[in-house]
A and B are shown apart, each in its own frame.
Chain A
Amino acid sequence: MVEATIFALASGAGRAAVALLRLSGSGTAGVVAALAGGLPPPRRASLRRLRDPRTAELLDQALVLWFPGPASYTGEDSAELHLHGGPAVIAGVAEALVSAGARPAEPGEFTRRAFLNGRMDLTAAEGIADLVAAETVAQRRQALRQAEGALATLYGGWTARLTALLARQEAFIEFEDEDLPTGLDDAVALGSAALRAEIAAHLADAGRGERLREGLLVAILGAPNAGKSSLLNALAGREAAIVSARAGTTRDVVEVRLDLAGVPVTLADTAGLREAADEIEAEGVRRACRRAEEADLVIAVFAADQAPDGATLAWVTHAALVLANKLDLAPAPTAIGGVVPLGISVRTGAGLDALRIRLAEEAGARAGLAAEATLTRPRHRAALTEAAGWLAELDTASLPELRAEALRAALRAIGRITGRVGVEAVLDAVFGEFCIGK
């Protein structure tokens, strides 16, 4: 059975200078030849006229690239058609492709084929999936790095070390009367402790990678009429929240998505914190507090011309960003709740640039691109946490076979990210390292 030939628009939909159509499958050569009147030389961009195979009507003049499998993205025969952008051209070529025997790809089908053909491992495939969905430049960069295998390399390295440790433990169990080096057991314990520390450090990145993928939540809190909604609109660059001089205008949580230095941020404007006048507003205040508890960063907004209110002061910690708004009405106090506030005026725009820089720093500190591979998936985190847990158990295990169980379980846990490590790999390591056999 042969794989159907599929195609998909690899560039974004809509009007653009160039549109990229990608094909993959065993019939690619025939489909391309049907439209381009022949197959160009492999892996060379060639300018070709594309014609509808049914009517010989000219569809477009395009760059055609032909990648014979298996040295292609999907591992199958594949091709790229660089068309002139524009919905009509794309639709015309797509129709022609279908008439030549190809079909539109299902979402993720290219990646799935690449994965099934062993062109990438699971982390790489997930990276590709993220790449497609990347909202921002920085997300795309991280997704790219994962696709290139930074995580695969890191986890692969740990897997190899775990395998080696298990091999030693197994050799110690299996070949008692062989001339094994002494201290194998201790070496395993030491190696395991070192590995556990590394995994723990990786886990302790406070979820930077995950946040970059999911985005940060920033909650704006403050007394009614402190200028929270105005601030949100100023930062969003549009009127997302209704602003009025009346206190208590915002009764529910209003959220906007921002790109702060490459980090996707959800900015949440909340109801002003005060004794609510009615039940609806009271619920709004409750929601505001809940959102603030979930938030990665709280912006506490005070009006410079008012005394700080107690409800907002309760949220002032060293981790919160404290603002004194309405600089145009009064100077900023030197300290609010022991923290030096950043003075701004949403009305005049004073201090807003400084605020944007500050926010970008804060976002970067919580979710920025780390130099090393970062955790991007809760799935990875869970697996690594489990592995570290098993390695911790190894320290207290009283017998070699129990230590081996802990190592096996740790290896299985990491194997859920990188792929299963079979017993043969462990035995290879045993017989590679030790001279065994009577």
Chain B
Amino acid sequence: MFDAIFDVVVVGGGHAGCEAAAAAARCGACTLLLTHRLDTLGEMSCNPAIGGVGKGHLVREVDALDGLMGRAADAAGIHFKLLNRSKGPAVRGPRAQADRKLYRQAVQALLRATEGLSLEADAAEDLVLGDNGRVAGVVTASGRRIGAGAVVITTGTFLRGMIHIGETRIPAGRVGEAPSVGLADTLRRLGLPLARLKTGTPPRLDGRTIDWAALEAQPGDDPPEPLSWMTERITNRQVACALTATTPATHDLIRANLHLTAVYSGRIEGVGPRYCPSIEDKVVRFADRQRHQIFLEPEGLDDDTVYPNGISTSLPEAAQAALIASIPGLGRARIVRPGYAIEYDHVDPRALTPTLEVRAAPGLFLAGQINGTTGYEEAAAQGLMAGLNAVCCAEGAVPDRVLTRSEAYAGVLVDDLVLQGVTEPYRMLTARSEFRLALRADNAGLRLTEKGVAWGVVGAERARAHRTYAATLADALARARAEGGSPVWYLGAGVPINQDGRWRSALDALALPALTADTADRLFPWLRDLPARVRAELEAQALYAPYLERQAAELCVLEREERLAIPAATDFTAIPGLSTEMRHRLTKASPTTLGSAGRVPGVTPAALVALAVHLRRTEARFT
């Protein structure tokens, strides 16, 4: 007997859990979000920034599926910057620093406004397994049994979390919050492969004790570029960050205290992220560097806490104080809370299917840091996808909400995780996408919103706005393809152009570096009347068209290989012509298509041929 029954139960109230719960509820599923404390829903446990290159792409994708993150960041943002502004649109990444409290409030308000979503402060201690191994619900710390059609676990670093500050060790998920021990045991009992990772955070400073006047100010963009496609404009007061850097004295101090850190004394076994190293790592690995830059980021408008970005550390508190004091502008800065390293368990994501469902426990989905990722954005994207698939599951359907590598970074993320596993906390980078030019942050809506509408996760307001935009864009594209002129005509208008006699459309012309915006406006006056977003989209499509056309062939091969499905029951050890090593690698990753088999690390072309031959042969036998 259950005390309550929901379609979907989400365990964890971080970025993955909030998106999962909200997405499930938007799809119409009766959803419960369980978390230790309701007041920390939407907490930014590390730095107060959302977005960036790659991460900003993910935020826009979550937003295109009507997720929370972009809207919450816009409501809470106090410093916006579009990264890579001088580069092409495909690699521009929007980023916002948020007021931590406003962000929490915004997320909580969005959750409370979501119909069909219940929020409860309780800890999930165990899973209820039904017949045939399906997950049927959860048991909470308060002893309640809650039934569910599907369960999403998003417990972040709370699984056997252990905080290290110098030689001090504190079992915890976040400072001041208890770790989840019961659930870790449950996952272990399910036979899920667990491994240990670590990450860290810098000490927080009292902004009133920083000598701002001595430091270089870093203002945000004016006007700020919102993260959500639905946000018209940013209304918060904007603040500046400041830039400082470590000194040789800082480095000497770190070297002298290295033996006291958890990592360098060998007390931490987990692997940390290479792109987010502790200041100890930086000093050791790049010994010849005289300085490492630090961004001082205010955590809120009415909060004096400052996040010194770039000096994550697990030194003892006393050494942290000395370290801070050795940095220009921070001579008298007071530490509000020391930095720390945290070690935690994560599940090897190769135990999951591309829908983020646990292969060994149907009905159970995992999302976020528990899958070995790092970052709010990576967590949010997984949460949203897991939430969508949990709904399928709860409806008795086979989960099939999967984005491909060629349509979204969220697709790249999930594919990388379930196929490659992780060796360090996984962070999104645009370098991870082989279709980078097609996956722009500013075309996420065009790529995903219609799909989201079909999945039922996109609300009416966004669907309407998107369709209006898409229609305007289609008209503009048609016109830009239809209108144009000869090289002589362009030359007459002052555009130096190859006199090859070839007629060029307005869209072709927009790709010419020699064509300034003013000239374009003069040649095609209707461009001036286009909404800014439509105009930008035209220009981006024009810029990348030659490359995307060439990539089309590759995409075609990829899609063909993706269509060749590997049945779930395939026994890789029984395929003739595969070496023992290949059998092992393929069994471990359990690729679901020939295309994904090709992305399993170490799988050779010869093995793919053997696999393809086998698939064709079995296919032939059954058809």
Contacts and interface: CB of A to CB of B under 8 A. Distances in A.
Contacts of B286: 435
Interface stretch (B85-93, B98-106, B129-137): B85-93
A437 B429 contact: no
Contacts of B295: 177, 438
Interface stretch (B516-524, B525-533, B586-594, B600-608): B600-608
Contact of B579 (A118, A399, A431): A118
A133 interface: no
A116 B577 contact: yes
A424 B601 contact: yes
Contact of A174 (B54, B294, B574, B610): B54
Contacts of A422: 601
B289 interface: yes
Nearest to B423: A424
B87 A399 contact: yes
A194 B231 CA distance: 48
B606 A112 contact: yes
A178 B430 CA distance: 16
A126 interface: no
Q: B90, B282, B309 — which one has the most chain A CB atoms within 10 A of its CB? A: B90
B622 interface: no
A179 interface: yes
Interface stretch (B143-151, B268-276, B360-368): B268-276
A401 B277 CA distance: 26
B277 A174 contact: no
Contacts of A177: 83, 295
Given A400-B91, A436-B275, A437-B277, A116 B606 contact: yes
A405 B607 CA distance: 28
Nearest to A430: B431
B4 to A, nearest CB: 43
Contacts, number: 107
Contact of A419 (B293, B436, B604): B604
Q: Which of A1, A176, A398, A436 has the most CB of B within 10 A?
A: A176
Contacts of A438: 47, 276, 294-295, 309-310
A369 interface: no
A263 interface: no
B578 interface: yes
B432 A423 contact: yes
Contact of B513 (A112, A398, A405, A420): A398
A355 interface: no
Nearest to A398: B513
B581 interface: yes
Contacts of A129: none
Interface string A406-422: 00100000000001101
A405 B437 contact: yes
B431 A426 contact: yes
Interface string B538-577: 0000010001000000000000000000000000011001
B616 interface: no
A431 B310 CA distance: 15
B53 interface: yes
A373 interface: no
A178 to B, nearest CB: 8
A109 B288 CA distance: 53
Nearest to A431: B274
B573 A1 contact: yes
Given A173-B431, A179-B292, A431-B275, A399 B578 contact: no
Q: Which of A178, A179, A399, A427 has the most CB of B within 10 A?
A: A399
A119 to B, nearest CB: 10
Given A174-B54, A174-B430, A437-B274, A401 B436 contact: yes
Nearest to B202: A438
Contacts of A437: 273-277, 282, 310
B286 to A, nearest CB: 4
Contacts of B579: 75, 113, 116-118
A423 B431 contact: yes
A383 B242 CA distance: 49
A122 interface: yes
B418 to A, nearest CB: 16
A113 B605 CA distance: 14
A158 B436 CA distance: 24
Contact of A405 (B53, B310, B547, B610): B547
B431 A174 contact: yes
A170 interface: yes
B235 interface: no
B468 interface: no
A432 B437 CA distance: 26
Contacts of A115: 604, 606
Contacts of A91: none
A435 B273 contact: no
A404 B87 CA distance: 12
A402 interface: yes
A104 B526 CA distance: 76
Contacts of A112: 577, 606
Nearest to A118: B581
A400 B91 CA distance: 9
Contacts of A75: 579
B582 A400 contact: no
Nearest to A409: B550
B84 interface: yes
A408 B434 CA distance: 9
Interface in B84-143: 84, 87-88, 90-91
Interface in A283-322: none
Contact of A170 (B294, B431, B601): B431
A386 B88 CA distance: 25
A269 to B, nearest CB: 43
A435 B289 contact: yes
Given A173-B87, A419-B605, A1 B574 contact: yes
Interface string B195-210: 0000000000000000
Contact of A435 (B292, B580, B581): B292
Nearest to A436: B275
Contacts of B275: 431, 436-437
Nearest to A2: B580
Contact of B91 (A178, A401, A408, A424): A401
Interface in B62-88: 83-84, 87-88
Contacts of B91: 173, 400-401
Nearest to B218: A177
Contacts of A420: 605
Q: Which of A174, A419, A420, A438 gathers most chain B CB within 10 Å? A: A438
Interface of B: 47, 53-54, 83-84, 87-88, 90-91, 273-277, 282, 285-286, 289, 291-295, 309-310, 420, 429-432, 434, 436-437, 513, 543, 547, 573-574, 577-582, 601, 604-607, 610
Interface of A: 1, 75, 112-113, 115-118, 122, 170, 173-179, 398-402, 404-405, 408, 419-420, 422-424, 426-427, 430-431, 435-438
23 contacts: A1-B573, A75-B579, A112-B606, A116-B604, A116-B606, A116-B610, A170-B429, A173-B53, A174-B53, A176-B53, A176-B84, A177-B83, A398-B513, A401-B88, A402-B547, A405-B437, A419-B605, A427-B429, A427-B431, A435-B277, A435-B289, A435-B292, A437-B282
The 3 closest A-B pairs by CB, nearest first: A431-B274, A435-B286, A399-B88
Given A438-B47, A438-B295, 19 more contacts: A1-B574, A116-B578, A116-B606, A117-B580, A118-B604, A173-B87, A174-B54, A174-B430, A401-B90, A402-B88, A402-B437, A404-B431, A423-B431, A435-B282, A435-B285, A437-B273, A437-B275, A437-B282, A438-B294
